[in-house]
Amino acid sequence: MDYKDLMDSLFFNTDIVLEDMQKGLTNHNYLLEMNNEKLVLRVPGSDADQIVERHHETLALEAIKDADIDVETIYYDEISGYKVTRYMENALTYGECQDENKIEQVAALMKKFHGLHKLIHEDFDPLKRLRNYQSQVQHPCVDVSEFAWIEDSISHLNNPKVLCHNDWVDGNMLFCNQRVYLIDYEYAADNDPLFDVMSFLSENQITDETLRERFYAVYFDEMNDQIRKELDLWENFHNYLWCYWAMMMYESRREDVYKDIAMDKYQALMQKNQA
C-alpha cells in the first residue's frame, strides 16, 4: 500500500493534498492537508530498515508521550515506519532560529528529556552500531583508519544510561510558539547522556567555547574535568561514527549529500586531532 492509499484508508477521505517539504535525509516528508488541518507525513526511504530500529522508536514514543517534549503524533506504524504528526506553523529549526538564547533553550530541553529517567531497555550501543556501519562500507570515500584508536577510547565509559535521542541534528529541534520541541526518535535508545550532549554540539558545528559553556551552564548541575574529558572522547567518536554512516549511505543511495557529510566528519576529525 502506498502512502496515498494508506491515508485514504486511515481517514476515509480522498481529498488529500500532499506537498514534498524537501526536508530530511533518510525519509521523505510531506505536508498533508485534509479536513482543514495540516499534518506532516513521514515516508521512510527504501533502505531505512538497514539504518534504524523501528521498535526502539515505538518504545521511545510511548515513554515520552506525556512529557510534552515531542510534537503531537497522530499516527505511527512500526512495520512501515509511516508516521503522521501535527504540523507546527512557522516552526524554525535550530539553524533558522534567531533567538539569542536558543542554545540555553536546547540545553533545558535536553536536561528535561534526560531528567525523565526513562529506559526502554534497548541499548543504542555505539560500538555495535559502528561495526554495523563499517560492515556495509565496501569502498570508503575517505580513509579514517588512522582514527581507529577512537573505538577503544570510549569502550571504558560506563555512565548510567537513560533514554537518549541520539540524533540532535538541526532539523530535529523545532522552535515554535515560544518553546522548542524535539522530534524524530528513529535513533532513540538507552545510552550515555553525554552522547546526546555531544550529538547536539557536533552535529550543529558548535565549536565556539563560549557557546559550549553557555550550554553546559544550563545542562549540568556541576561541570568537572572528568565530564570534559568524556565529552572530548564522545566528540571524536561522533565524527568517526557518522563518517562511517555517511559512507554507508553514499554506497546505498549514491547521493552526493552523504559524500559531503563523510568529508565534513573526516575534516572535523583531522582538525580536532591535528598534531
Give pLDDT tens digits for 221-271. Answer: 999 999 999 999 999 999 999 999 999 999 999 999 999 999 999 999 999
Domain hosting 240: range is 3-272
Helix intervals (H) in the chain: 3-11, 54-64, 102-115, 126-135, 149-153, 193-203, 209-219, 225-253, 256-272
Dump pLDDT digits (tens) for 205-233.
999 999 999 999 999 999 999 999 999 99
Model pLDDT, residue 1: 43
Total length of the chain: 275
The answer on pLDDT for 10 being more than 90 is: no
Q: What are 10's three cell numbers?
A: 486511515
CATH code of the domain in which 197 resides: 3.90.1200.10
pLDDT at 14 over 70: no
How far apart, in whole angstroms, are the C-alpha atoms of residue 172 and residue 55?
A: 19
Q: How confident is the model at residue 145 (pLDDT cuts 50, 70, 90)?
A: very high
- pLDDT given at position 4: 56
Q: Where is pLDDT greater, at 52 or 128?
A: 128
Mean pLDDT of 82-88: 93
Number of structural domains found in the chain: 1
